[in-house]
Structure 1
Amino acid sequence: MTAGRSDPPGGAAGEVPDHGDDEFRATVFDESFVRAASLQEHSAAQRLEPGTFPVRPRVTEPSAPARAGGLLPRNGLAVAAVLVTAVLIAVFLGNSGLRPAARPGPDIVPAGSLLPLAPHGAVPSVATADPYADTAADDFGTELVLPEARSVGDWDRDQVIDALVLARRYVTASSLTPDVLVGGAVAPVRALLTPFQQHRLDRALRSGPGPVRASTFLVRFEPGTVELTDDGTRVEGAFAVEQTQGRLSISARHRFAYALVPTGDPLAAPSLFLLQREVVLSFGEEELRTGQVALESATTTAGPLDCADPADATALRPLLAGQRVAATADGPTGGAGPPAADGDEPPRTGAAPSGDAPREEDGPLRARAGDGDTRASTTGDGEPVARGGLDPLELPATGSPLCGTLAGS
């Protein structure tokens, strides 16, 4: 023992030096800390038992066992979701592959033909009060009628209904809408076409020859030249539905009648312009989804027209009451001739010309589809004339000199 000190250097027995408190101050011996220890010390009574050791390894409590039918681990759920998604995609692609390969609609270039019908003499006028009374269009209606829809081929009834509604919308916009017929509007028709055919329409409306005529897409009179009377338009016809090359195809075949007067002269005597038109539209899933149509072809027979008009004109130039076709080389050229004299006035459109009563089935358009011979002949001076029964579906390519004759003129 050192002189002057009563306690040993390390302090009194059983005491902990002051600096020892600092060493364990950051350690918290809570219940979780004790349970986390890997070794457990036996109690004094347990150490007295034979064959025991001071300490023993702690047996960790197993986690609660997964119940039968319980949730899978997160990794298992993720794997299961991926597998289910892969199976669904495989089933969808397999079912889609059962259909024949469909021709893409946006790249369809429509085929078109226009057969003008010229009057024999001056264009007859019709009654101002009721332009369609006692004419071939007297029984025509004012609206397009759709057939009863049913599934066709790979296309169910709902898809057929959607296609028929779009087809009626297109025929209405292109052949019955006044703004399109005489107002120069194009948007109602253009909005229904696929983007590819929208560009084709834009090109057709520019002057000069092009791959597709404007008359293929729509019925359009020269803006600023004629107006429709207050009696509106008349139409009759039908729609037919079939599946062609994996696409839903709709054929719309109609006859139209338009009562026309010169622009700015509402008191002028009206005349009828008659038109027979068949358009074939096709639809794929893309067209049905976007609400557009793919125009396959358009066949038009119309009159009274002057066959001397350029075939690639951007609009029709109808002959009105009292007008004639352009004069021959022996007379003045250009424009319509003067009105016929009272004694020479031909009968109204739809009536039989004197000395030559047309067959009842001929109707106002003598050049009707499916009536027989599709050839054309010429007169002695080379003037092309159409034989009765021209089928516009079999007309030659653009530039043909064929010209039909309007019955009853």
Structure 2
Amino acid sequence: MAGSVDPPDGTPDGTPEGRPGGGEDEYRSVVFDESFIRAARLRELSAQERLDGRSGDPVRHRTDGSGQGPGEGRGGDRDDGSVPPRSQRHGSRTGALALVLVVAMIFAAAVHLVSRGPHGPPFDQPAQPARMSVVALAPQGPVPGGTPAELYTRAPAAQHRTGAAGVTLPPARSTAHFTQSQVLAALSTAKDYLVQSSLDPDVLSGSTDRPVRLLLDPDQLAQFDRSLDRPAADGRHTVGGWLVRFDPDRVVLADPEVRVHGTLGYTETSADELEVVSQHTFTYALRPVSSDTGAEDASLFTVRRELRFHFDREDLRLHRAELVTSSLWAGPLDCAADLSGTLSPLLAGQRATSTTAPATDPYGMAPASAAPACAALAPDAQPTPP
């Protein structure tokens, strides 16, 4: 039977079977010889290695001739050829997470500081005691009387606005260190203080002082409370320095619509402080407690208030004010009246018993401001005769 038969000693020169002619085989380039296999970096884990907890990674790196696997010293295989323990891999992840948290905290702190304003965090300056003065304006004749409507028509307050509408705000513009919104906050707080301390019927009658107290810097609350509890004409503790309050045993409002006229202004006194100055005239229609509502024995009482406020950034944020100075001129009043406490106006038909300020004893223990100041009430400031 014809056919090719391999020589007894195999094909000469390593020529594959059925490939006569010898020479290089065309498939030799794809045959993995022993040197290629020894150079392989990976090998399958043994059964024991799989039981040791590395079944999730079926292969591992082989060590090279230097005894180190690839990546040795950079989190790769250890010297014994095994992968790092799970605890080491978990520690690496924990460190990375901690780094991310630190970066996030730094970023959050930066955002918080930026949100507090372009000029850094608020700086809360301690408030100083307020300085105040009250001046009585004594009439030169009897106090004019009539109905509230008639009196207002014949008085300079005829063209003034009523209530809070008379406390108008100027245009708010940014300053060198304060934004427009911060300036507006200072003006708004000053207006609220004027409204609560000069127009609130309950404050005027002495029923409460809470609306005014809530607007003051906490550093001034002790001075405020002392002034209302134990008033004194010492330039620090007069009731009229903080608010307008009438003697509830003598007078009441004859008309709840108080006439108001004045201005508000502001300026930056330092990089950390705004100043607001208010100058307003308040005209009240009053009547004796014993008279009937709508009676013709009402009279007008005029109060001129000049207040100076300071605001740091903490005050602006908390909607509160530091009262620096307060000056009040009020009439018709008697120069002999005690101006440290509630105001006791002269009513329709009454005359001042004294139009001269009491003498001041320069050797006395009380400061010069303790004696109530007094001045004449201009006739033009009162309603004209009918």
TM-score (norm 1): 0.62
CA drift of 1:178 comes to: 1.3
CA drift of 1:288 comes to: 2.0
Question: Using the alignment, how far apart are the partners of 1:401 and 1:290 within structure 2?
Answer: 35
Question: Using the alignment, how far apart are the partners of 2:244 and 2:96 within structure 1?
Answer: 64
AA at the equivalent of 1:287: D
For the 8 Å contact 2:145–2:299, the answer to whether it is kept is: yes
In structure 2, the CA distance between the partners of 1:159 and 1:35, relative to structure 1 (3 Å rule), is: closer
In structure 2, the CA distance between the partners of 1:203 and 1:58, relative to structure 1 (3 Å rule), is: closer
For the 8 Å contact 1:128–1:270, the answer to whether it is kept is: yes
Match of 1:270 among 298, 304, 316: 298
CA distances 1:149-183 after superposition (whole Å, capped 9, x unpaired): 11123111111222221111110000111111124
CA distances 1:181-236 after superposition (whole Å, capped 9, x unpaired): 12432111112112222221110112353632111100111123111123520001
Any idea what SS the aligned residue of 1:315 has?
coil
Question: Using the alignment, how far apart are the partners of 2:168 and 2:159 within structure 1?
Answer: 14
Residue 185 of structure 1: aligned partner: 208
Alignment of 1:341-360 (within 5 A): none
Match of 1:317 among 332, 344, 347: 344
For the 8 Å contact 1:122–1:321, the answer to whether it is kept is: yes
Match of 2:178 among 155, 165, 176: 155
In structure 2, the CA distance between the partners of 1:264 and 1:35, relative to structure 1 (3 Å rule), is: closer
Any idea what SS the aligned residue of 1:130 has?
helix
For the 8 Å contact 2:148–2:285, the answer to whether it is kept is: no
AA at the equivalent of 1:255: T
Question: Using the alignment, how far apart are the partners of 2:205 and 2:262 within structure 1?
Answer: 22
Alignment of 1:4-403 (within 5 A): 32-33=50-51, 59-60=81-82, 73-82=93-102, 85=105, 92=113, 104-105=125-126, 107-142=127-162, 143=165, 144-207=167-230, 209=232, 211-230=236-255, 232-245=257-270, 246-266=272-292, 267-312=295-340, 314-326=341-353, 398-400=369-371, 402-403=373-374
AA at the equivalent of 2:175: V
Question: Using the alignment, how far apart are the partners of 1:161 and 1:98 within structure 2?
Answer: 17
For the 8 Å contact 1:251–1:280, the answer to whether it is kept is: yes
In structure 2, the CA distance between the partners of 1:33 and 1:100, relative to structure 1 (3 Å rule), is: closer
Gaps of 5+ in 2: 1-46, 60-78, 86-91, 360-366
In structure 2, the CA distance between the partners of 1:32 and 1:187, relative to structure 1 (3 Å rule), is: same
Question: Using the alignment, how far apart are the partners of 2:277 and 2:52 within structure 1?
Answer: 87
Residue 69 of structure 2: aligned partner: none
Identity of paired residues, percent?
35
The alignment covers a number of residue pairs equal to 289
Question: Using the alignment, how far apart are the partners of 2:336 and 2:121 within structure 1?
Answer: 46
AA at the equivalent of 2:253: L
CA drift of 1:148 comes to: 1.6
CA drift of 1:59 comes to: 4.7
Residue 390 of structure 1: aligned partner: none
CA-based RMSD: 3.6
Residue 347 of structure 1: aligned partner: none
For the 8 Å contact 2:148–2:299, the answer to whether it is kept is: no
Question: Using the alignment, how far apart are the partners of 1:207 and 1:58 within structure 2?
Answer: 89
Residue 6 of structure 1: aligned partner: none
In structure 2, the CA distance between the partners of 1:193 and 1:86, relative to structure 1 (3 Å rule), is: same
Larger helix percent? 2
CA drift of 1:101 comes to: 10
In structure 2, the CA distance between the partners of 1:34 and 1:160, relative to structure 1 (3 Å rule), is: closer
CA drift of 1:402 comes to: 3.5
Question: Using the alignment, how far apart are the partners of 1:58 and 1:35 within structure 2?
Answer: 16
In structure 2, the CA distance between the partners of 1:186 and 1:311, relative to structure 1 (3 Å rule), is: same
Any idea what SS the aligned residue of 1:120 has?
coil
AA at the equivalent of 2:282: F
Any idea what SS the aligned residue of 1:398 has?
helix
Question: Using the alignment, how far apart are the partners of 1:127 and 1:297 within structure 2?
Answer: 35
Question: Using the alignment, how far apart are the partners of 1:128 and 1:319 within structure 2?
Answer: 16
Any idea what SS the aligned residue of 1:137 has?
helix
Question: Using the alignment, how far apart are the partners of 1:147 and 1:327 within structure 2?
Answer: 41
In structure 2, the CA distance between the partners of 1:83 and 1:58, relative to structure 1 (3 Å rule), is: closer
CA drift of 1:400 comes to: 4.3
Gaps of 5+ in 1: 1-28, 41-56, 64-71, 329-377, 385-395
Question: Using the alignment, how far apart are the partners of 2:213 and 2:181 within structure 1?
Answer: 25
